Chains A and B, each alone.
Chain A
Amino acid sequence: MSATEIVYLISSVLFILGLKGLSHPESARRGMHLAEAGMVLAIVGTLVSGKIVTWEWIITGIIIGSAIGAAMAIFMPMTAMPQRVALSHAFGALAAVLVGVNEYVEKSNLNELTNGLMGALGFEVLFGALTITGSLMAFGKLSEMITGSPITYKGQNAVNILLFIAAMGMFVYLIFFPYNTIIFYSMIALSLLIGIFIVMPIGGADMPVVISLLNSYAGLAAAATGFAINNKVLIIAGALDGASGFILSIIMSKAMNRSFANVLFGAVGSAQVDSSKLAESRPITRFGIEDTKFVLEQAERVVIVPGYGMAVAQAQHTVRELSDELEKQGIKVEYAIHPVAGRMPGHMNVLLAEANVSYDQLLEMETINPTMDTVDVCIVIGANDVVNPAARTDKSSPIYGMPIIDVDKAKTVIVMKRSMAAGFAGIENPLFYQPNTKMLFGDAKKVMQELVSEFKKV
């Protein structure tokens, strides 16, 4: 066992302890410091291992990478976090693929391409390459450079499955005939194409699943790199990353009521919607600012349910101001967070934390639902599908069976929305027509501001 290996072992332990810290906000930062120490150790250990003979490329790469990484970390607004995460999966996968290609060329020149090594390399570049383009597509969609709505065509699934089978066929062929460089590079090209194709039909609201899945793929590619270059810390870190992405995909898919197989194969489509059903016009109750204030003042317990609309309107700070005003009057305010609210796991929590909301006020769906009938007022802000009671009652609804936040059980529900337009999934929401539901139309941030100043007047 060399000194480098001992350093790698210590790093691996520090990574595990670091992630363990994330079980609670109190211990999270200390945990991250451990993980950072582990990273520094592993890097320094590698640099002094004696394997490095030239330094100029390394130094330039580290300087450029640190500058870009730091700039992104400092200047990216919290609302852009989903894009940043998607982009970082692409970077991680890019590194894995390039290391894989280099290893392939080197070992093939030395005539040392064993079948086992080729298996690891093939897996690495296959999953790495599709993660690169898949993540870039996700980045494009999340930052709205590409349309966020699904791009579909006839026979899409068949094409995707055929491409994937072809890539897998090349992979298996390469394990037996590793020196066929044309097949090797064709497989990479095909994987890059697959990455684009599988994310193309996926719409914005399904992004939490996709991002988690790509996270898992990026981790698996890193672990495969560890196999290819016989590096154990890479295998361990990759396995941790892969497991994390995998668990998050399961949580997200459960929260959207999608099957496990659906997640594994990344076949996240979007429900086809019958738009004629939406035209239906039933009576709704409209509320103004003053009505809302009146109802809120009578309440003892208020629950705020945020959705992607809050992120779009950047309304998180104003939402917190409102809850401050309510708390001043002795009203208990809590936030109910649906696992897939927003565009990535934990999206709403980060935005509300940014706005200085205490983390013990952020409640999970399972915690809040059993007590929903004791809630006086529920404010739904920019959320739609995750509070749609059709998921509980209407078997014909595309979201039937999806766990929702039972806001309809609260005594009064105030829904803040731009207009009556359907949510992302294009599904009619019976919540809006309930007698205890009041619709408050307008831009979430503006309406909230008006409400806050109404409270401050007194």
Chain B
Amino acid sequence: MQIELVYILILAGFVGFEIIRKVTPTLHTPLMSATNAISGISLVGSLVAAGSDHQLGQILGFIAVTAATINVVGGFMITERMLKMFKKKEKK
């Protein structure tokens, strides 16, 4: 394990902390589904496993690809659906 990965983790953690602290509480539910979709990035790991030439990797990878894709596609779609609803109403 390289130390540079630890640097990345810690610095990314701080960036995440600062950004997410500023997210308006009104959007906390969309925030959850958005971060969920983003962490569906584990799809890239699953793709490599599913696309390997080992049978076990293919099977485990296939299930992982399916699960991660559900999060990526579903997560972004539902976040969009929610964000579309947050409108400022014109005062009559």
Q: Taking beta carbons and an 8 Å cutoff, which residues of A are in contact with B?
A: 11-12, 15-16, 18-20, 22-25, 28-29, 32, 35-36, 38-39, 42-43, 46-47, 51-55, 57-58, 60-62, 64-66, 68-70, 72-74, 76, 78, 81, 84-85, 88-89, 91-92, 94-96, 98-99, 101-103, 105-106, 114, 116-117, 119-120, 211-212, 215, 218-219, 222-223, 225-227, 229-248, 251, 327, 337, 339, 344-347, 349-350, 353-354, 356-362, 364
Contact = CB atoms under 8 A, between A and B. Distances in A.
A58 B50 contact: yes
Given A36-B76, A344-B29, A18 B23 contact: no
Contacts of A240: 12, 15-16, 19-20, 35, 38-39
Contact of B1 (A60, A61, A114, A233): A114
Given A25-B24, A54-B53, A218-B39, A32 B9 contact: no
A39 B38 contact: yes
Contact of A73 (B12, B73, B89): B73
Interface in B1-27: 1-2, 5, 8-9, 12-13, 15-17, 19-27
B79 to A, nearest CB: 6
A60 B35 contact: no
Interface string B50-73: 111110111111111111111111
B37 A35 contact: yes
A178 to B, nearest CB: 13
B34 A66 contact: no
Contact of B9 (A39, A235, A337, A362): A235
A76 to B, nearest CB: 7
Given A22-B31, A29-B83, A72-B70, A227 B15 contact: no
| Interface bin, chain B | 35 or more
Task: Give the most central of A74, A98, A245: most B CB within 10 Å.
Answer: A98
A346 B33 contact: no
Nearest to B81: A73
Contacts of B92: 327
Contacts of A364: 25
Given A35-B37, A237-B39, A359-B86, A248 B28 contact: yes
Contacts of A89: 36
Given A28-B86, A95-B67, A241-B38, A102 B25 contact: no
B78 to A, nearest CB: 4
Contacts, number: 365
Given A120-B1, A247-B20, A350 B30 contact: yes
B88 A360 contact: yes
A360 B37 CA distance: 27
B31 A65 contact: no
A19 B20 contact: yes
Given A19-B38, A39-B41, A92-B67, A236 B1 contact: no
Contacts of B36: 85, 88-89, 92, 215, 218, 241
Contact of A247 (B5, B17, B37, B72): B17
B68 A239 contact: no
Contacts of A64: 66, 69
Contacts of A74: 77, 81
Contact of A95 (B19, B32, B46, B84): B46
B70 A102 contact: no
22 contacts: A19-B20, A19-B38, A22-B34, A35-B34, A43-B44, A57-B51, A57-B61, A57-B62, A65-B67, A65-B72, A81-B29, A84-B78, A95-B43, A102-B56, A106-B57, A226-B45, A229-B45, A234-B42, A241-B38, A349-B86, A353-B26, A357-B89
- The 9 tightest CB contacts between A and B, nearest first, are A65-B69, A69-B74, A346-B28, A61-B65, A243-B16, A116-B1, A52-B51, A358-B89, A73-B77
Contacts of A35: 34, 37-38, 76
A91 B20 contact: no
Given A69-B69, A76-B78, A51 B48 contact: yes
B48 A226 contact: no
B33 A356 contact: no
Nearest to A132: B67
Task: Give the most central of A38, A103, A243, A360: most B CB within 10 Å.
Answer: A243
B41 A23 contact: no
A94 B22 contact: no
A346 B42 contact: no
Contacts of A114: 1
